[in-house]
Amino acid sequence: MDETGPRQFLARLIAESGENYGALSRLLGRNAAYIQQFIKRGTPRKLDEDDRRTLARYFGVDEVLLGASAPEPEPHLLSDNKQDSRIFPRFNDLALVPRLPVEASAGHGALAGSEEEVRAISFDRIWLKELGLSAENLSIIDVKGESMAPTLGNGDSIMVDRSDSAARLRDGIYVLRLDEALMVKRVALSPRRGQGGLTISSDNPHYPSWQDVDPALVDIVGRVVWSCRRLV
């Protein structure tokens, strides 16, 4: 299966939204195996235009992410100035990172769902590469609560690199699951590698931290690599 194309993206949308193949197939008026065959077997090779439009509207994403052709840029946006192309990335140089309808608690650890539809935010591929990031491993979610203040505040958006999880764990800020709750916390390893538990802490001193946590009890979703805060 294409690791960066429409099949992979649709599979990720389905997994992270809790939907199932059969229900989505029926939404399209297809047999129950239609979506599964598209994702797992590559049949059909690409989604029918009407099916693609329906799925894009259902998940609230751009049809381009599901295989539609990218729109041609407006003529007035084109430039013969080579310097402009270095400063302003072209459409094909942009990577779309999904913004998912979940919130990582930076409060008391409640798993929160949002009513917002899935959206995608564009980032310069070269910039992501310079940071050592690949768009297919990234998701953007919102922070809920103030336990990570002042580093992260309620309503901040964070980019999570899901490829940077337990296997590469090191000191830093991570999205993790602990006791079935999705949260964003600072994680520190024991000074003696491979011995002792993790320290899971809140940057806000008014909120609790946990010492010597068994790594087996913690599901590391991914490392926080970027954040965005609304100022008004």
| pLDDT of res. 1 | 44
Q: What is the pLDDT of residue 62?
A: 84
Q: What is the pLDDT of residue 180?
A: 79
Q: Tell me: the pLDDT tens digits for 112-151?
A: 444 344 678 889 888 898 889 988 899 999 999 999 999 9
HEC secondary structure over the chain: CCCCCHHHHHHHHHHHHCCCHHHHHHHCCCCCCHHHHHHHHCCCCCCCHHHHHHHHHHHCCCHHHHCCCCCCCCHHHCCCCHHHHHHCCCHHHEEEEEEEEEEEECCCCCCEECCCCCEEEEEEHHHHHHCCCCHHHEEEEEEECCCCCCCCCCCCEEEEECCCCHHHCCCEEEEEEECCEEEEEEEECCCCCCCCCEEEECCCCCCCCEEEECHHHEEEEEEEEEEECCCC
Q: What is the mean pLDDT for each group of 10 consecutive residues in the chain (232 residues)? A: 72 83 88 92 90 86 84 52 48 77 62 52 88 90 93 93 87 89 90 75 92 90 92 75
Contact 61, 119 (CB under 8 A): yes
pLDDT at 157: 93
Is residue 227 within 8 Å of 159, Cβ to Cβ?
A: yes
Domain residue ranges in the chain: 6-63, 93-228
pLDDT confidence of residue 72: 59
Domain topology for 6-63:
434 Repressor (Amino-terminal Domain) (1.10.260)
Topology (CATH level 3) of domain 93-228: Umud Fragment, subunit A (2.10.109)
Query: What local confidence, expressed as pLDDT, does residue 118 receive?
Result: 64
pLDDT for position 90: 54
